[in-house]
C-alpha cells in the first residue's frame, strides 16, 4: 500500500495531547512497517526528532501554511503523481476534499457538550471540520470505547466504520537519583510530599476545582495533620521541626482559557503551596510522576486520559474523576471522585496517603498500565489501513 499521513501535529517542539499521539504513532509505524510506502505531508520542514527518511518513508513539505488542510493539501493530493491507497490524519481534520480514501482520528467530541470552553474560532473548526471529516471518511479511528459510543450516538455512524486504537504509554526512562533530586530541587519539592496534576492547562481539566479542593485539604491538614511521616526542614519562613504540608504541582503548558486557574490560587492565598512548572521535558515528567504522592486528574470530560496510565506505569496511584473514560481505562486501579465535590476530592487526597492503600493501588496500577503500548496502537491503526485495502480489492479498485 501507499499511505499518506498528515504529520503536522507531530512536527512541533513541545508535544502534548494529539501532538504526542501523532508523534508516537509515526515512530511506531516507522519501526513496525517496512512493507508499505509512507508519504508524510508537512507544511514546515521536519524536525530532527521525526523518523529519518528511507526508501519507504518520505516527507513532502509544501505551503501555504494558512488553511493548509483546506487548500494546500487538497491541491497537492490532486496534482501529485503518487496514487495513494489512503490518507490518514492523526487528528480530527482530514483534507477538505481528497481523491483518496480518508481516515480521521477523533479523540473526543467534548467540544459539543462544553462549547463555552473553547474560543469561537476553535469551536467553529471543531464542530464543522470534524463533521465534514466524519461524513467523507472511509474509516474512522478513535481512542476509547467511550469516544466510539459518543461518535455513533451523535453522528449516527455505522459502528463497523469506527475502530478503537487505544493510546499507548512509553517505557519510562531510567533516571539516576542525582538527576531526579536536581529536578525536584529546581521546583523546591521533596519526594513523596506533593500531589501532581500533569496535562495541558485548559477548561475541561477542571483545575480551578482541583485548587479549591487542595485549599480545603490544606485547612484540614493544619487542623489535623495526616497520620503519616512528613518532611520537616527549615525554609520559607518555617521553624525547624514544623510540618510542611504536601504541595500541589500543576505541570503542563498553557492551553486556552486558563486565566481562572491562576486567579483561583490567588483567591485562596496559597501561592507558596502551588507550583506551576509550564511545559516539562521527558525526564522532568517521569521524575514528577515517580516522586508524587498521587496524580490527580479531576477532568469533567476526557476521551482517554494518558496521564493516568503514565502515572500508574511507575506505580504512583491516581485520583480521577468518576467519568466513563477513566472507568474504562483505570478500572479498579485508582480512587474515583465526583468532579464537582471539593470535600470528596479533599478526603481522597487524605485517604491516598495511607501506605496500605497506596501499596495496593500501586500494584494494581502497574498491571493495568502494562496493557497499553504504542506498539499496540500502531498495530491497531495498521489493521484499519488493511481493512481499506481489502474493501477496495472487493470492488476491483487499487
**Most distant CA atoms of the chain, gap in Å:** 80
Residue 203 per-residue DSSP state: G
Query: What number is the average pLDDT over the span 287-309?
Result: 95
**Each residue's pLDDT tens digit, 19-42:** 999 999 999 999 999 999 999 999
Residue 243: predicted pLDDT: 55
Cell of 161: 466504520
Asked whether the beta carbons of 323 and 302 are under 8 A apart, the reply is: yes
Nearest-angstrom CA–CA distance, 98 and 341 = 47
Query: What number is the average pLDDT over the span 147-168?
Result: 94
Asked whether the beta carbons of 195 and 292 are under 8 A apart, the reply is: yes
Whether 250 has a pLDDT exceeding 80, the answer reads yes
Residue 235: predicted pLDDT: 40
Residue 36: predicted pLDDT: 97
Residue 97 per-residue DSSP state: S
Residue 225 per-residue DSSP state: -
Residue 392: predicted pLDDT: 59
Bigger pLDDT: 182 or 110?
182
Provide φ and ψ at 3, rounded to 5°: -120, 130
CA atoms within 13 A on the CB side of 77: 29
User: Measured between alpha carbons, how far is residue 355 from residues 113, 153, 192, 219, 267 in Å?
Assistant: 39, 43, 12, 22, 33
**Each residue's pLDDT tens digit, 111-154:** 888 887 788 888 899 999 999 999 999 999 999 999 999 999 99
Output the CA torsion sign for 12, 16, 18, 21.
positive
- What's the pLDDT band for 227 if we cut at 50, 70, 90? very low
Q: What is the mean pLDDT of the chain?
A: 90
Domains, the chain, in order of start with CATH, read 2-168+374-393 (3.40.50.2000), 177-369 (3.40.50.2000)
Q: List, as one string, the DSSP characters of 103-168.
A: E-EE---HHHH-GGGS-HHHHHHHHHHHHHHHHH-SSEEESSHHHHHHHHHHH---GGGEEE----
DSSP H helical ranges for the chain: 18-32, 72-79, 110-113, 120-136, 145-155, 177-186, 207-223, 259-267, 282-290, 306-313, 324-330, 342-351, 355-369, 374-394
Nearest-angstrom CA–CA distance, 49 and 231 = 40
SS3 195: strand
Residue 347: predicted pLDDT: 95
**Each residue's pLDDT tens digit, 41-71:** 999 999 999 999 999 999 999 999 999 999 9
Asked whether the beta carbons of 378 and 32 are under 8 A apart, the reply is: yes
**Each residue's pLDDT tens digit, 175-208:** 999 999 999 999 999 999 999 999 988 888 999 9
Structure pTM? 0.84
Residue 232: predicted pLDDT: 39
CB within 8 Å of 157: residues ≥ 6 apart: 134, 140, 151
Amino acid at each position: 500500500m501507499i499511505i499518506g499521513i498528515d504529520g503536522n501535529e507531530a512536527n512541533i517542539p513541545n508535544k502534548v495531547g494529539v501532538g504526542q499521539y501523532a508523534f508516537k504513532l509515526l515512530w511506531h509505524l516507522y519501526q513496525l512497517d517496512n512493507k508499505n510506502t509512507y508519504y508524510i505531508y508537512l507544511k514546515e520542514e521536519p524536525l530532527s526528532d521525526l523518523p529519518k527518511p528511507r526508501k519507504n518513508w518520505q516527507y513532502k513539505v509544501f505551503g501555504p501554511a494558512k488553511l493548509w488542510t483546506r487548500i494546500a493539501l487538497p491541491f497537492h493530493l490532486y496534482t501529485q503523481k503518487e496514487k495513494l491507497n489512503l490518507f490518514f490524519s492523526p487528528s480530527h481534520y482530514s483534507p477538505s476534499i481528497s481523491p483518496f480514501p480518508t481516515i480521521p482520528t477523533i479523540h473526543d467530541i467534548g467540544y459539543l457538550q462544553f462549547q463555552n470552553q473553547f474560543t469561537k474560532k476553535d469551536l467553529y473548526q471543531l464542530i464543522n471540520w470534524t463533521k465534514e471529516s466524519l461524513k467523507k471518511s472511509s474509516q474512522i479511528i478513535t481512542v476509547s470505547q467511550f469516544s466510539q459510543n459518543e461518535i455513533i450516538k451523535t453522528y449516527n455512524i455505522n459502528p463497523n466504520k469506527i475502530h478503537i486504537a487505544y493510546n499507548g504509554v512509553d517505557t519510562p526512562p531510567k533516571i539516576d537519583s542525582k538527576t531526579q533530586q536536581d529536578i525536584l530541587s529546581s521546583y523546591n519539592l521533596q519526594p513523596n510530599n506533593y500531589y501532581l496534576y500533569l496535562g495541558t492547562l485548559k477548561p475541561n481539566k477542571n483545575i480551578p476545582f482541583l485548587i479549591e479542593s487542595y485549599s480545603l485539604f490544606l485547612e484540614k491538614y493544619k487542623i489535623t495533620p495526616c497520620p503519616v511521616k512528613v518532611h520537616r526542614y527549615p525554609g520559607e519562613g518555617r521553624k525547624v521541626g514544623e510540618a510542611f504540608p504536601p504541595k500541589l504541582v500543576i505541570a503542563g503548558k498553557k492551553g486556552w482559557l486558563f486565566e481562572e486557574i491562576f486567579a483561583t490560587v490567588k483567591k485562596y492565598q496559597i501561592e507558596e503551596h502551588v507550583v506551576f512548572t509550564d511545559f516539562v521535558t521527558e525526564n522532568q515528567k517521569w521524575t514528577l510522576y515517580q516522586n508524587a504522592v498521587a496524580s490527580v486528574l479531576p477532568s469533567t470530560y476526557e476521551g482517554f486520559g494518558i496521564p493516568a496510565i503514565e502515572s500508574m506505569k511507575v506505580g504512583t496511584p491516581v485520583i480521577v474523576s468518576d467519568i466513563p473514560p477513566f472507568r474504562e481505562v483505570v478500572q479498579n486501579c485508582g480512587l474515583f471522585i465526583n468532579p464537582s465535590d471539593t470535600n470528596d476530592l479533599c478526603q481522597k487526597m487524605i485517604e491516598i496517603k495511607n501506605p496500605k492503600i497506596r501499596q495496593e493501588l500501586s500494584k494494581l496500577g502497574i498491571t493495568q498500565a502494562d496493557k497499553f503500548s504504542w506498539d499496540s496502537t500502531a498495530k491497531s491503526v495498521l489493521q484499519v489501513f488493511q481493512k481499506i485495502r481489502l474493501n477496495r480489492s472487493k470492488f476491483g479498485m487499487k
